[in-house]
Structure 1
Amino acid sequence: MLVPILIFNVALVAWSLHLMQQAFDQQEFSLMLAGTLVASSAAGMMVVYFLMNNCLSTLLLT
């Protein structure tokens, strides 16, 4: 299950970098904000995945 989530996160990070590059080229704040939000959602998804993985492994071992 980790591999599809990692692939999705890499795609989100690549998309956020693309948005930020467009924001820099066009001098638009909204694209920079969108890129930042996409990057933070990718980071949040990884945090939730590792927290749930830790919780589920603890529950299944007891």
Structure 2
Amino acid sequence: MFLILLIVIALVMWALQLMRQAIDRREFSLMLAGFLVSSAAAALVAVYMLMNSYMGYLGYSGQQAIAPDWSDESLGWLTELNQPTSLDGSAQTKFWQEPLLSTAQ
């Protein structure tokens, strides 16, 4: 950040020097060059701000992809979904409970 700030300050100072010389010599080309240099400084700041936000987004999404939250509460729906029910609607958990718990761990 500090390096980019120094580069932007140097570009703005150079642009002001070019514009001052353009006024002294009454040359349009130097004024145009000063405007282009100042535009480059503004574009550099804009790109820095956009990339800073994007890198923050990538860091956050990458952290979520690497370490998702696999707590027991998040796998609770899996144990309920895989339990077979009998004809009267009650869950049969005797023979399904052991294999399901062993695969969840």
TM-score normalised per structure 2: 0.57
Higher helix share: 1
Structure 1 vs Structure 2 CA RMSD: 0.4
Letter in 2 for 1:56: M
- How many Å separate the matches in 2 of 1:7 and 1:33? 23
What is the aligned partner in structure 2 of residue 34 from structure 1?
A: 33
- How many Å separate the matches in 2 of 1:22 and 1:43? 21
* Superposition deviation, residue 32 in structure 1: 0.1
- How many Å separate the matches in 2 of 1:57 and 1:3? 18
What is the aligned partner in structure 2 of residue 54 from structure 1?
A: 53
TM-score normalised per structure 1: 0.96
Q: Which structure 2 segments of 5+ residues have no match?
A: 62-105
CA offsets, 1:6-41, max 9 Å, x none? 001000000000000000000000000000000000
| Deviation beyond 4 Å, 4+ runs, structure 1 | none
Give the fraction of aligned pairs with identical amino acids, expressed as a percent.
51
Q: Name the structure, 1 or 2, with higher relative contact order (CA <8 Å, separation 6+).
A: 1
Q: Which structure 1 segments of 5+ residues have no match?
A: none
